[in-house]
Amino acid sequence: MTTPQDLERALWKGIESDRTLMLGLDGHDDDHMRPMTALIEDGKGPIWIFTSADNGMVVRLGGGSARARACYAAKGHGLFACIDGPIEVDNDREIIDRLWNPFVAAWYEGGKSDPSLRLLRFDAEHAHVWQNESTLMAGIHLLFGRDPKKTYADKTAEVDLR
């Protein structure tokens, strides 16, 4: 049986491994979600995202914060999640130094001092997580007379990430 804690651990492990989320600001119909590289430390949030000053989210945030939603899909499609929480620009030099890596560096000609460099802090507060039962497994359950909806019941959870 899968517990909400199992799903939460799987979510953090997946984000740490895959490092890609679709991210957007809530309430901005003229904007769209975009793929962003997500970095976490110690197996949980906050989620850190390097971006640039001209990114639409950064422009809309100005110097403030807003509500955001991230969608996560594991590379093998074994786990999906919608994650909600506040987001803000947080150019903390210590965190930039700690998270800086060659993949981030490739985007910024001026290195850590590039004037366009921005670091977003996404404080994940809540997630709805789904563990995917493959269609093959659902077919096997049907073949043996089991209702696949019942075996899927413990594969989803609302998770408090604070």
What pLDDT is stored for residue 89 in this prediction?
A: 97
Strands (E), the chain: 20-25, 34-37, 39-41, 44-52, 65-73, 79-89, 117-122, 126-131, 156-160
Residue 27 CB partners (closer than 8 Å, separation 6+): 66, 67
Residues facing 71 on adjacent strands: 22, 82
- Written as one letter, the residue type at 97 is D
pLDDT averaged per 10 residues, the chain (length 162): 88 96 81 91 94 94 93 92 97 96 95 97 96 61 60 67 80
CA dihedral 25, 31, 34, 37 (to 10 degrees): -40
What pLDDT is stored for residue 144 in this prediction?
A: 61
What DSSP element (H or E) covers 162? none
The domain locations on the chain are 4-160
How many whole angstroms separate alpha carbon 28 and alpha carbon 162? 25
| CATH number at 4-160 | 2.30.110.10
What pLDDT is stored for residue 108 in this prediction?
A: 96
The pTM of the full predicted model, rounded to 2 decimals, is 0.84
Residue 130 CB partners (closer than 8 Å, separation 6+): 79, 80, 81, 155, 156
What pLDDT is stored for residue 78 in this prediction?
A: 87
Show the CA angle centred on residue 22, arms to residues 28 and 107, nearest 5°: 105
How many whole angstroms separate alpha carbon 12 and alpha carbon 46? 11
